[in-house]
Amino acid sequence: MMVVLLVMTAICMMLTPLFSHSLAQRNVSQFVQEVEADLMYYQLYAMVHRSTVRINLTTQPVGYRVSVTGEEIGRRHAPSEISLIFGRTPNFSGIQFTSQGRLRQHVEIEIERGDSNQYYVVAFQIIRGRFHIYEYG
C-alpha cells in the first residue's frame, strides 16, 4: 500500500510542471480570444451608438481601457503570464474606432509573454477596421 502511494506521489510531482505550463498557455490563449471578442464588440458598439470608441493600453496593470467621449465603458486586465502590451506603430496613441467602425490610422499592437519568447501581433487594416491576430515564437 505504501509503495502505491509513493508511486502515485512521484507521478503527481512529475506532472505538476507540465500541467502548470499548459495552464499558463491556456490563460494566454483565452486572453487573446477575449481581446479579439472585445475588439469586435467595441467596433460594433461604435457603429450602433454612432460614437467614437477609444481603446487605451495600460501598463500597470497590464491590459486596456475602453472609453467613449472620456467615459470609461470597459476594461480588461491581462493574466500574469502577459508581461507587456504595446503599440508597434510609430506615434501610437491607442486604437480609435470611428462612428462607422473604421480606423483613422494603421495600428499594430504586440502582446508579449513574460515567461517565454512567444508573442502575438494584432494588425489592423486602415479604413475598414478589420484586424488579424498573428502568433510568433
What pLDDT does residue 14 have?
67
**Is 108:122 a contact under the CB 8 Å cutoff?**
yes
Q: What is the pTM of this model?
A: 0.81
**Three-state DSSP state, 60:** coil
Residue 46 has pLDDT above 60, yes or no: yes
* Per-residue model confidence (pLDDT) at position 20: 58
* pLDDT at position 16: 60
Q: Using CA of residue 137, residue 112, residue 81, residue 132, what is the dihedral sign?
A: negative
CATH classification (class only), 2-136? alpha beta
Per-residue pLDDT reduced to its tens digit, 54-98: 999 998 899 999 999 989 999 999 999 999 999 988 888 899 999
